[in-house]
């Protein structure tokens, strides 16, 4: 693999000032007006991704027509990607170059789903973990009392929690169902070091049939280790000091010796390769809870991710889904000044998707240092937030309609099977929200709405301004035929590659997270009693917290 081309900040590329001009010209125009005299806009700005594993099967529809852009702007964005040598970046990503340039290693998480070869000399074998998970699912393991293990509690945080939690919520059958003639496996996730998180799970747990999976690449994550020690103590209290509690633990870690020292059997420690970043790890051994939950359909999840890898690597930018998503997000952030993105999945199974996306986008691209060591002049990752529909409509959508901030929106809509009228209501609401937030409601429409209610003219005039919605909230709609393992794999890989597109063009490293260590260093100092040297506010808070603890003893 040859050396990367010299980095040029995106503001110094010829497409950047052209895009600034486009933004100045387009900003005054209402978003809805872009459809005027352009009957083909929706069709032209929609990409349809066909499932390559089944002919004539649409796997995903991506409608970008409600974004505030036009054909000329899209062409300029693609030109920016070419000037930034995005094609070289994609090639380096898939060919094992050290795109994680601060840590000088590849980002080869795609290898876990077969989307690229693993780094030379390193395998991507997960057979032992898969065998363990399948045997666990089928009731092949017992605890120290001989009772069959039917409850898995995953102890992790960040990428060791968010990915598998999202996937299990999305794909596990909420109605249960008998597996191999035994009761279904219950799976819970604990991430917070707040004792209430673990306690709220343990109150429903039977120690004799519970297995804890400690998911930590380094096996030194303070929150996860604290919860693991608390789980060990709970097992001893419930089963007796002489119980073989090793029967109730497994681990996913790259620090095998540390896990064994903790008391986990070596054959139950499943490696997590160093080249798999935490927020990209659900495809790896970190997916053990998902395998236990869904069994063989885990392979469909991997296939979904892999076909997006192939699409991203091989498809021209003009039809490339992750490229469009990355460029349009960059357009919103850097040229329209939109600093916030709301993830709005209209599926209860995707209720953790906004949290997963928060980590993926903000931990990956929430940085200011460029490949050349300089500070960026461009805004990078937006603030990502959101909630599942229709719940969000009764919470924060009011701000989207009548607040003072512009927010970019991603609607994710699995259509689902026919049969339950509630599913149709859910989908109709999603489509309607995207339309209403774009179109808005002007003062005349507000007056008409009130007049139809039979209100007096004076009351119509008094209330009409309060019904006005400015509209103009740009959105992308991603529509899936259903929420299953295959389509979830497509969705997650799509966003992974979107993040890479943006990170490459901005010139930052999406694969490290040095910033989060700063606060951890201070927390470690406070835990060891090192208050001296802290700022006066921090020193005072630490002292007052200790006074509270002393009073409550």
Digit-coded pLDDT (tens) for 463-480: 999 999 999 999 999 999
Cβ atoms within 10 A of the Cβ of 388, count? 20
Q: Tell me what the pLDDT averaged over the chain comes to.
A: 95
Distance CA 103, CA 90 (A): 19
Which residues touch 277 (CB under 8 Å, ≥6 apart)?
100, 107, 109, 159, 511
Domains 10-99+315-506 and 127-298 fall in the same CATH topology: yes
Give me the sign of the Cα torsion angle 517, 520, 521, 522. positive
Architecture of the domain defined by 10-99+315-506: 3-Layer(aba) Sandwich (3.40)
* pLDDT at 536 > cutoff 70: yes
Cβ atoms of 278 and 112 closer than 8 Å:
no
Backbone angles phi and psi of 28, in degrees to 5: -70, -15
Mean pLDDT of 209-236: 97
The lowest-confidence range among 105-114, 137-146, 192-201, 517-526 is: 517-526
Distances (CA, A) of 414 to 28, 127, 181, 283, 308: 34, 32, 31, 21, 18
Parse the chain into domains and list their residue ranges.
Answer: 10-99+315-506, 127-298, 518-551
One of 12, 147, 265, 520 is an active-site residue; which one? 520
Calculate helix-pair angle for 222-239, 516-527, nearest 10 degrees: 50
DSSP assignment letter at 4? P
The lowest-confidence range among 253-262, 354-363, 413-422 is: 413-422
Mean pLDDT of 195-207: 98
Pick the residue with more confidence: 314 or 122? 314
- pLDDT-derived band at 174, boundaries 50, 70, 90: confident
- pLDDT-derived band at 390, boundaries 50, 70, 90: very high
520 is catalytic: yes
- pLDDT at position 453: 97
Closest CA to 151 of 208, 210, 202: 210
Mean pLDDT of 188-199: 98
- pLDDT-derived band at 177, boundaries 50, 70, 90: low
The lowest-confidence range among 207-216, 371-380, 492-501, 516-525 is: 516-525
* pLDDT at 490 > cutoff 80: yes
- pLDDT at position 45: 98
- pLDDT at position 176: 72
Mean pLDDT of 453-464: 98
One of 169, 223, 361, 363 is an active-site residue; which one? 363
Cβ atoms of 409 and 346 closer than 8 Å:
no
Looking at beta carbons, which pairs linking 123-127 to residues 24 or more positions away fall under 8 Å? 124/273, 126/270, 126/284, 126/285
- pLDDT-derived band at 53, boundaries 50, 70, 90: confident
- pLDDT-derived band at 278, boundaries 50, 70, 90: very high
One of 394, 461, 546, 547 is an active-site residue; which one? 394
Mean pLDDT of 50-59: 85
Residue count of the chain, please give it.
553
Query: Hey, what CATH class is 127-298 in?
Result: alpha beta
- pLDDT-derived band at 178, boundaries 50, 70, 90: low
Coil, helix or strand at residue 174: coil
Residue-wise pLDDT for 397-454, tens only, equals 999 999 999 999 999 999 998 889 999 999 999 999 999 999 999 999 999 999 999 9
* pLDDT at 1 > cutoff 80: no
Distances (CA, A) of 382 to 245, 297, 331, 343, 470: 45, 34, 11, 12, 22
- pLDDT at position 530: 86
394 is catalytic: yes
- pLDDT at position 179: 63
> Which tokens is 249 given?
């633990």
Helices and strands in the chain: count of H runs, count of E runs:
21, 11
Q: Which range in 111-120, 177-186, 468-477, 518-527 is most confidently predicted, on average pLDDT?
A: 468-477
């Amino acid at each position: 693999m040859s050396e990367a081309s010299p980095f040029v900040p995106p503001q110094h590329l010829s497409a950047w000032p052209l895009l600034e001009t486009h933004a100045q010209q387009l900003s005054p125009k209402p978003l809805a007006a872009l459809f005027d005299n352009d009957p083909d806009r929706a069709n032209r700005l929609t990409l349809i991704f066909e499932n390559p594993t089944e002919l004539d099967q649409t796997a995903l529809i991506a409608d970008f027509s409600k974004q505030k852009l036009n054909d000329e702007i899209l062409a300029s964005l693609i030109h920016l990607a070419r000037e930034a040598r995005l094609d070289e970046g994609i090639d380096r990503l898939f060919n094992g170059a050290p795109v994680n340039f601060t840590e000088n290693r590849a980002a080869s998480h795609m290898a876990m789903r077969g989307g690229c070869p693993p780094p030379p000399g390193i395998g991507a074998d997960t057979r032992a973990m898969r065998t363990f998970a399948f045997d666990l699912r089928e009731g092949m393991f017992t605890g120290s009392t001989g009772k069959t293990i039917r409850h898995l509690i995953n102890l992790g945080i960040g990428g060791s929690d968010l990915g598998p939690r999202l996937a299990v919520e999305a794909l596990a059958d909420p109605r249960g169902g008998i597996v191999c003639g035994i009761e279904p496996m219950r799976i819970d996730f604990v991430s917070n070091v707040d004792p209430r998180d673990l306690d709220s799970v343990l109150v429903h747990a039977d120690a004799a049939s519970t297995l804890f999976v400690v998911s930590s690449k380094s096996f030194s994550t303070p929150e996860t280790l604290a919860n693991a020690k608390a789980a060990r103590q709970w097992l001893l209290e419930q089963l007796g000091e002489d119980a073989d509690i090793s029967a109730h633990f497994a681990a996913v870690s790259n620090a095998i010796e540390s896990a064994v020292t903790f008391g986990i059997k070596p054959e139950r420690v499943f490696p997590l390769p160093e080249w798999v970043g935490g927020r990209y790890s659900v495809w790896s051994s970190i997916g053990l809870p998902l395998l236990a939950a869904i069994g063989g359909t885990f392979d469909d999840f991997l296939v979904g991710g892999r076909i997006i890898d192939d699409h991203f690597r091989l498809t021209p930018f003009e039809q490339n889904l992750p490229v469009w998503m990355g460029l349009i997000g960059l357009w919103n952030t850097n040229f329209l000044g939109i600093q916030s993105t709301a993830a709005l999945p209209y599926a209860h199974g995707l209720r953790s998707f906004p949290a997963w996306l928060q980590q993926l986008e903000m931990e990956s691209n929430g940085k200011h240092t460029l490949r050349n060591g300089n500070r960026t002049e461009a805004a990078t990752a937006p603030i990502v937030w959101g909630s599942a529909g229709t719940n969000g409509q009764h919470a924060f959508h009011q701000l989207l309609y009548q607040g003072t901030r512009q927010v970019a929106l991603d609607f994710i809509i699995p259509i689902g099977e026919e049969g339950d009228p509630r599913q149709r209501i859910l989908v109709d609401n999603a489509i309607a929200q995207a339309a209403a937030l774009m179109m808005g409601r002007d003062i005349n429409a507000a007056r008409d709405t009130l007049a139809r209610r039979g209100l007096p003219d004076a009351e119509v005039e008094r209330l009409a301004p309060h019904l006005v919605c400015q509209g103009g909230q740009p959105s992308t709609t991603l529509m899936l035929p259903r929420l299953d393992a295959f389509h979830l794999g497509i969705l997650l890989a799509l966003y992974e590659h979107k993040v890479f597109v943006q990170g490459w063009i901005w010139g930052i490293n999406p694969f490290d997270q040095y910033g989060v260590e700063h606060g951890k260093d201070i927390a470690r100092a406070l835990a060891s009693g090192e208050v001296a040297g802290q700022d006066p506010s921090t020193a005072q808070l630490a002292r007052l917290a200790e006074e509270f603890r002393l009073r409550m003893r």
